Amino acid sequence: MNDMTPTKLKAADFATDQEVRWCPGCGDYAILKGVQRTMAEMGATPENTVFISGIGCSSRFPYYMETYGFHTIHGRAPAIATGVKLANPDLDVWIVTGDGDGLSIGGNHMMHLLRRNLDCQVLLFNNEIYGLTKGQYSPTSRVGTRSPSTPYGSVDAPAEPCAFALGSGARFLARCIDTAQKQMPDILKRAHAHKGASFVELYQNCIVYNDDVFGAFTDKKESAHTQIWLQHGEPMLFANGEKGIALDTETLALKVVDVKDGDWQAAGVRVHDERNKVMAGLLIAMRVPDFPVALGVIYENPAPSFEQDVRTQNVEASKGKVVDLEALIKKGQTWEVNQKKLREV
Amino acid sequence: MATKLKDQTAAASEREAVTVRFAGDSGDGMQLTGGQFTQSTALAGSDLATFPDFPAEIRAPQGTTFGVSAFQINFGSEAIETAGDAPDILIAMNPAALKTNLSALKPGGLIIADTGEFGPRNLKKAGYEENPLETDELKDYQLVAFDISAQTLESVKEFGLGNKEALRSKNMWTLGLVLWMFDRDRQPIRDWLHSKFAKNLDIALANEAALNAGHAYGETAEIAQGLGRYHVGAAEVEPGLYRTVTGGEALSLGLVAGASLVDLPLFFGSYPITPASPLLHTLSRLKEFGVTTFQAEDEIAAICASIGASYAGQLGVTSSSGPGIALKGEAMGLAVMTELPLVIVNSQRGGPSTGLPTKTEQSDLYQALYGRNGDAPMPVIAARSPVDAFDCAIEACRIAVEYMTPVMLLTDGYIGNAAEPWRVPAIESYERRPATHYAGEAVSPYKRDEKLARVWIKPGTPGLMHRIGGIEKNADTGNIDYAPANHQKMTDIRQAKINGVADTIPDQGFELGGPDDDLVVVGWGSTYGPIHQAVKRARRGGAKVAQVHIRHLWPMPKNLGPLLKDFDRILVPEMNTGQLKTVLRDQFLVDAKPLNKVSGQPFKIAEIGNAIEEALS
Ligand code: SF4
């Protein structure tokens, strides 16, 4: 449907006339720009595109997209999206959520959306903090995070969004960084092309309450060593090709190996296989400084989508049945009363 | 009203109404027996009302008092509106069933008991020191006790079933006996057995043999055992085609009809909860009517998915019981704020919290009227009987679409499970009001019609892209707007829109009596039956008492206030601690007096009758 657009729209055509209200310098601006650019590059049809969000800074997103948009309630965007998509599978549904919205209050819905494999894109803006409510620690905050609600530091272990998604049965997993404008459109296009639920974690900097929390791997100067952009079928190399990711077959753990003279095979560097779920689990868990952070499309393994299966079953179950409301309400054992004064004694 | 059951001539004695209660272990198939007896009663043309009374446990240990499952049916040649105050006949399949149901039986009532189950173990489980069938404990009743278990085993011997399996036909044996007592045709039950066990002919035949044996036993044991035969005539009813229907069935059919009348596909999002689940079960089999059912991960997801479906242009419906409705509260507010059509069905049960899942109560009225944050007005309507649930569902769909609003439809566990005869209506007799999705010139999403309903623009419509959400929106542009004057304006509009629903609902009428009476009994929901009967009886006795029963609980009919103000005495019987009473006092400053019952059981006619007497004295 998208390729039927007569005139090609520009990124700016996907912006509304509403003033964007995020804090100056917030990572959300970059993501908005990246998404609008992606829409234009994909030739998306605004009227067939729906952005659905929950509550939080990121959830203001739909107001800034010149598409259909539904800013719902905290954590429930996946549930609303499920109804939208079941009612009209032709719509292109994008869910915008955050670490609190998608993994705390809405964690249950997220899990079920992913396992059902509803055809949609989930953009989870992870900033490891509750921004809109003024800076409390979130379910992705690292242990020891000091915040208004944890003045002595948080003590609970954080959730890892991609591991959660993988465990929930997600069949498309990708990661990106707010400022990675070069890679973002391609990753979002891949997510869009994937039929089923696509889960994209976007590391988003909250300049006000959690500035630079991802600095250890987002800092441009060090990024060659701290980031690995995965490509299906390509060796997993980073540090300008001087290092790679290999598998220790003894411990079944990943390790970083040095690559001499570009001979990655000799170094045992593995080729990225998006279909490999076990590897996806290992790649997700890589942390700086021991490892680079895995970015790009980590896992993809398509399967029939939920709304399609529901539709198919509805059609199958209806086959050969007569749609007669009158007959339906008369079903079962009935009897006729002929005259009003009936009294058989 | 049943006449005394004393006469036991061989000839069938004539009665106006009889109440029979089948009680047994939850594994004894009492609900099935009751259901089939109901069908047979309906086919015989009597009016009827039923009251299935389940245990809370799925399979409580055999023989225990908390595992007793009962089914009560009241039927007669006069109009029947309640399941009967006290049974005339109690069929007790074991000691626990006798123990838990005896107190309900009318003095002089008939007990039919299966002696085969009255062994020491079962007696002990039921808490009997001695066998009540052998002491004089039951001297005030008529007792007919014999070994139904042994009789059943004997009747199915030729099918070579195991003992346990053979005893499963006990309920059919008993049903055969009861059919004989009421001079009923066995053929419909035989047909039903053969369709139910179509894949297992032996079981069908064994059950049929048990049914026949029970019936034959009645013939032969008549004189010796003192079993009487009764004849209950056909009721005087409007001509037409009839069937029996439970409230759950009527509600499902009403939703399908309601969606069809507004010309929208029905989306039903739900999460399993007692006693609301039957709706989900029924609707999930009606896909050919454009129904999509979605069993969500929780109550919140169920309503949210329904809101999503409405947003996308279908008619979203969600259903639950009190605890689930509580969880849906925030999402109801979203539907109010975004002004999307939605029907929320609450099959009320005893509360608070988990409360009494299988017992009936109407204590969610406050929740329905007020249970949301902010000023979130929402139309509320309540079904009065199983049959009425059909019309109420259609009405809920109409209001939701016509006013772009969520609508709460109240029913309860009693209505959902109870059955009554239904004169099947002609669908053409209902007005079709097809919904429209706007697809014209660019407009604000908050452009309203004369009823203040906003335009319904579904995603996918070219040129009309817009954003909606739970944050307050500008009344004109639909953009986010926190300005004080705008919030005041939007709050006023939302309120005025819902108040306006009163323009399209019928005036409140009297069920019985009129403005010249001295007392008016006001009810809502499933108390209709006992109130109606009690008022009718009191009027027969010369009392100047009227009945008003409210379907539209919010907004209320415009004439309700003036109507009530004409009375000095207002009695409000409710299965809660006085919620409608409080609302009436608040809305109309009238001196409404409560009559409350929260035992998990419906009102008895006599309880309301006594209160009427007292109020008039
Ligand atoms: S609080 Fe943080 S996340 Fe929210 S808008 Fe401001 S910078 Fe962005």
pLDDT at A2 over 70: no
How distant, in Å, are the alpha carbons of B2, B39, B156, B167, B307 from that of B162? 41, 30, 10, 9, 52
A312 Cβ under 8 Å from any chain B Cβ? no
Per-residue pLDDT averaged across B449-462, rounded? 98
ipTM associated with this complex: 0.96
pLDDT at B6 over 70: no
C-alpha R_g of chain A: 24
A29 Cβ under 8 Å from any chain B Cβ? no
Inter-residue contact A42 to A73 (CB < 8 Å): no
What is the end-to-end Cα distance of chain B in Å, rounded? Answer: 25
Amino acid at residue number A40 = A
The secondary structure of B215-241, three-state, reads HHHHHHHHHHHCCCCEEECCCCCCCEE
Question: In terms of C-beta density within 10 A (0-12 exposed, 13-18 middle, 19 or more buried), how is residue A3 classed?
Answer: exposed
B474 Cβ under 8 Å from any chain A Cβ? no
Confidence of residue A4 (pLDDT cuts 50, 70, 90): low
Q: What's residue B458's pLDDT?
A: 98
Per-residue pLDDT averaged across A54-76, rounded? 98
Confidence of residue A7 (pLDDT cuts 50, 70, 90): confident
Residue B311: closest CA among chain A residues belongs to which residue?
A: A84
Q: CA B90 to CA B87: how far, in whole Å?
A: 7
Sheet holding A243-248, edge to edge: A237-238, A243-248, A253-258
Cβ separation A335–B42 shorter than 8 A: yes
The secondary structure of B541-590, three-state, reads CCCCEEEEEECEEECCCCCHHHHHHCCCEEEEEECCCCHHHHHHHHHHCC
pLDDT at A91 over 70: yes
Question: Which atom of ligand 1 lies at the shortest distance from residue A23's CA?
Answer: 6
**For residue A140, is it within any domain?**
yes
Question: Each residue of A246-282: pLDDT tens digit?
Answer: 999 999 999 999 999 999 999 999 999 999 999 999 9
Mean pLDDT of chain B: 93
- The CATH number assigned to the domain holding A96 equals 3.40.50.970
Question: Each residue of B40-54: pLDDT tens digit?
Answer: 998 888 899 999 888
Sheet holding B68-76, edge to edge: B47-53, B68-76, B17-25, B89-92, B110-114, B142-146
Cβ separation B468–A71 shorter than 8 A: yes
Mutate to test the interface with A, among B195, B237, B288, B291 (most CBs of A within 10 A): B288
How distant, in Å, are the alpha carbons of B291, B347, B439, B504 from that of B341? 16, 20, 18, 17
Question: Each residue of B375-415: pLDDT tens digit?
Answer: 999 999 999 999 999 999 999 999 999 999 999 999 999 99
Give B-chain residues touching A318 at CB under 8 angstroms.
287-288
Mutate to test the interface with B, among A1, A80, A113, A311 (most CBs of B within 10 A): A80
For A70, the closest of B237, B311, B424 (CB atoms) is B311
Give A-chain residues touching B311 at CB under 8 angstroms.
70, 80, 83-84
A71 Cβ under 8 Å from any chain B Cβ? yes
Enter the tokens of residue B206: 């064994």
**For residue A58, is it within any domain?**
yes
Neighbouring-strand partners of residue B319: B270, B345
**For residue A111, is it within any domain?**
yes
**For residue A263, is it within any domain?**
no
Total domains in the fold of chain A:
1
Of A32, A125, A140, A206, best ligand 1 pocket probe by most atoms within 8 Å of the beta carbon: A206
Share of chain A residues as helix, strand and coil, in percent rounded to the nearest 5: 35, 20, 45
Of A20, A21, A22, best ligand 1 pocket probe by most atoms within 8 Å of the beta carbon: A22
pLDDT at A343 over 60: no
Confidence of residue A134 (pLDDT cuts 50, 70, 90): very high
pLDDT over 90, % of chain B: 83
Contact partners, residue B332, CB within 8 Å, separation at least 6? B303, B342, B344, B372, B376, B378, B406, B408
Domain that holds residue A77: 11-228+291-307
- Helix or strand holding residue B43 (H, E): helix B30-43
pLDDT over 70, % of chain A: 96
B462 Cβ under 8 Å from any chain A Cβ? yes
Highest mean pLDDT among B8-17, B420-429, B555-564: B555-564
Chain A and chain B share a number of CB contacts under 8 A equal to 222
The pocket around ligand 1, CB under 6 angstroms, is made up of A 22-23, 26, 28, 57, 127, 131, 206-209
**For residue A1, is it within any domain?**
no
Per-residue pLDDT averaged across A53-81, rounded? 98
Torsion of CA A342, A343, B1, B7, to 10 degrees: -170
Per-residue pLDDT averaged across A57-77, rounded? 98
How distant, in Å, are the alpha carbons of B29, B44, B73, B152 from that of B195? 17, 21, 24, 22
Q: What's residue B77's pLDDT?
A: 87
Give A-chain residues touching B238 at CB under 8 angstroms.
337, 340
Confidence of residue A86 (pLDDT cuts 50, 70, 90): very high
**For residue A183, is it within any domain?**
yes
Number of Cβ within 10 Å of residue B538's Cβ equals: 23
**For residue A239, is it within any domain?**
no
Mean pLDDT of chain A: 95
Q: What's residue B238's pLDDT?
A: 85
Residue B78: closest CA among chain A residues belongs to which residue?
A: A343
For B312, the closest of A91, A314, A344 (CB atoms) is A91
**For residue A38, is it within any domain?**
yes
For B269, the closest of A83, A332, A340 (CB atoms) is A83
Residue B333: closest CA among chain A residues belongs to which residue?
A: A73
A109 Cβ under 8 Å from any chain B Cβ? yes
Confidence of residue B2 (pLDDT cuts 50, 70, 90): very low
Q: What's residue B272's pLDDT?
A: 97
Inter-residue contact A216 to A142 (CB < 8 Å): no
Q: Look at B417 and B309; give whichever has higher pLDDT.
A: B309
Give B-chain residues touching A336 at CB under 8 angstroms.
240-242
C-alpha R_g of chain B: 26
Q: What's residue B224's pLDDT?
A: 45
Question: Each residue of B321-361: pLDDT tens digit?
Answer: 999 999 999 999 999 999 999 999 999 999 999 999 989 99
